[in-house]
Copies of this chain bind each other. A is one copy, B any other.
Amino acid sequence: MTISIIGLGLIGGSMALALREADWATQVWGVENHPAHARLAQERGLADKIVSLEEALQGSEMLVLAVPVDVCLRLLPQILDDLPASSVVSDVGSTKSALCRAIVRHPRRSQFVAAHPIAGTENSGPGAAIPHLFTNKMTILCEKAASSPEAWQQVRAMYEALGMTCLEMEAEAHDQHLAYVSHLSHLTSFALALTVLEVEKSEKNIFQLAGSGFSSTARLAQSAPGMWTPIFTENRHHLLTALDEYEAQLRVLRQAIAQADGESLHKALEKANAIRSILNPS
């Protein structure tokens, strides 16, 4: 089988590398419209060859869209229009509802499988691709009933070949959960970076004082705006609800701090410590 990855950035490039290493496909092709990225992908040997979208549609049995969610929303209906009847297409985006809604009545809907491999780093582009990004991580597959059993099984098998565990979920539930465990983390990290950068203007050398705690919480603020802007706006309904709840928690902590109410504050921090068993499952 020939598989084409559309977009050879962090996710697509890492997937191409991993698929070649897993020897799961006969050929791994890459589609990359950005000339400098295409050159870099070629230099790094991410794919067997770089092809046009038309060549990919003609010559591959499977296509994976690894582009920002707004680009995916625009590209997927066109790809389905031109997709050979025996081919399968999937995506990797961090939002799923709008995409599934956009193609709900498309005659080739069943050849598409909505997927979200939960993996990434704060870096982007073909230079950031790494071969084992997906190993031992989780992929969420959405809207099983809308895909053909064959397409579903093929996408599932691909993620399993990458060493991932698949979880099935409706698109709406996916978007709601991801708002809490991923999108909110990124949003608060961007806000933290902006806060400290703003202060730094007047207070030189403040960053000499930053320890590993700051690095940890501000790490995600290095993430690509082109990827995160459409995720935030597309998932705004769930994200703003999550943000409401986050701000409510901040208000509780703020009040205890303002009143120097050590007892309430200690209790709240103790409650937050329960995250330990989740971050370090036994």
Contacts and interface: CB of A to CB of B under 8 A. Distances in A.
Given A140-B209, A185-B217, A232-B257, 18 more contacts: A180-B196, A180-B206, A181-B209, A182-B210, A184-B196, A189-B213, A191-B272, A193-B275, A194-B253, A213-B220, A216-B217, A218-B279, A222-B273, A222-B276, A225-B270, A233-B257, A233-B261, A236-B260
A85 interface: no
Nearest to A211: B118
B192 A188 contact: yes
Looking at chain A's contact residues, the main secondary structure is helix
Interface in A178-226: 178, 180-182, 184-200, 203, 206-223, 225-226
Given A119-B211, A120-B213, A195-B180, A221 B266 contact: no
B191 A262 contact: no
Interface size grouping (class) on chain A: 35 or more
Interface of A: 70, 118-121, 137-138, 140, 167, 174, 176-178, 180-182, 184-200, 203, 206-223, 225-226, 228-230, 232-233, 236, 239-240, 242-243, 245-247, 249-250, 252-254, 257-258, 260-262, 265-266, 268-276, 278-279
